[in-house]
Amino acid sequence: MGVFSRMSDILQSNINSALDKAEDPEKLLSLIISEMEENLVEIRAIAAKHLAEQKTIQRKLRALNKTSSDWEEKAQKAISKERDDLARAALIEKQKVDVEIEHINGANEQVTENLEKIQEDCSRLVAKLAEAKAKRKTMQTRFEHAKTRLEVKKQVETYNVDQVLGRFESYETKIDELEAKVDAYEYTTAAKSLNDEFAQMEAEEKIEAELEALKKKVA
């Protein structure tokens, strides 16, 4: 079953109001557009049928008007020949044709009125269809923009959190390693200098001891 049950539903519809209440506005809008296009095809087919009917009626009217004129001319000719009986008969035939013309004129007026109503409805439907298509295009554009913005935002957030912090942590690790190397170098250097000082002190003590021993021998 379509979104709209009758043509009047479409022409009297408020698209914005319908979309506001829909769970999936874009899907509903596509359904509305599809039904509008189907109705437009139907209304144009009806218009074509009425136009064909109007042409047939107008063609018949032209023929009947000519027949009426012909009977009037015959009546005039009969009168000029003093044949009132023939003139009377011709006028009777003309009267029959004029009655038919009056009847067909009524049908022609009705068809013309129907065509005007169809043309009005068709114009309104085309306007509604254009409005719906414009809204769908706007929705699609907004969706694409939102999607692009979301992707960019995700990329930025990923870059900021993962890449920047990852690089920062990497730099911190490298700095820690360098500081550890410096500390290790300073530690080993300090230990080496301390050992040298003790060795030198022991050597000096030995020299002092030997010196004292020699002094005692000399004395």
Domain count, the chain: 1
Q: Is position 160 within any domain? A: no
196: helix, coil or strand?
Answer: helix
Assigned domain for 213 exists: no
Q: How far apart are CA 51 and CA 54, in angstroms?
A: 5
C-alpha–C-alpha distance, residues 135 and 26, integer Å:
9
In a domain, 183, yes or no: no
Neighbours of 111 (CB within 10 A): 20
* Structural domain includes residue 198: no
* pLDDT tens sequence across 61-116: 999 999 999 999 999 999 998 999 999 999 999 999 999 999 999 999 999 999 99
Which CATH number belongs to the domain containing residue 118 in this structure? 1.10.287
Q: How far apart are the first and last CA of the chain?
A: 136
Kindly state whether residue 111 falls inside one of the protein's structural domains. yes
Q: At what angle do helices 84-158 and 25-80 cross, to 10 degrees?
A: 170
| Mean pLDDT score, 159-180 | 68
> Which pair of structure tokens corresponds to residue 135?
């809204």
Whether 180 is in a domain gets the answer: no
Q: Quick check: 3 pLDDT over 60? A: no
pTM given for the model:
0.53
User: Average pLDDT for residues 151-172, to the nearest whole number?
Assistant: 66
Query: Which position has the token pair 């009047």?
Result: 8
Q: Cα dist. 62→73, 78, 97, 99 in Å?
A: 17, 24, 12, 14
**What pLDDT sits at residue 5?**
47
Average pLDDT over the chain, rounded to whole? 79
Q: Which domain holds residue 109?
A: 7-151
Q: Which residue has the higher pLDDT, 141 or 23?
A: 141
Residue 100: inside a domain: yes
More confident residue, 173 or 53: 53
Classify the phi-psi angles of 82: left when phi > 0, otherwise alpha if psi is within -120 to 50, otherwise beta: left
The confidence score (pLDDT) of residue 1 equals 38
pLDDT digits (tens, 9 = 90+) for 28-48: 778 888 888 888 899 899 999
Task: Answer yes or no: is pLDDT of 55 > 70.
Answer: yes
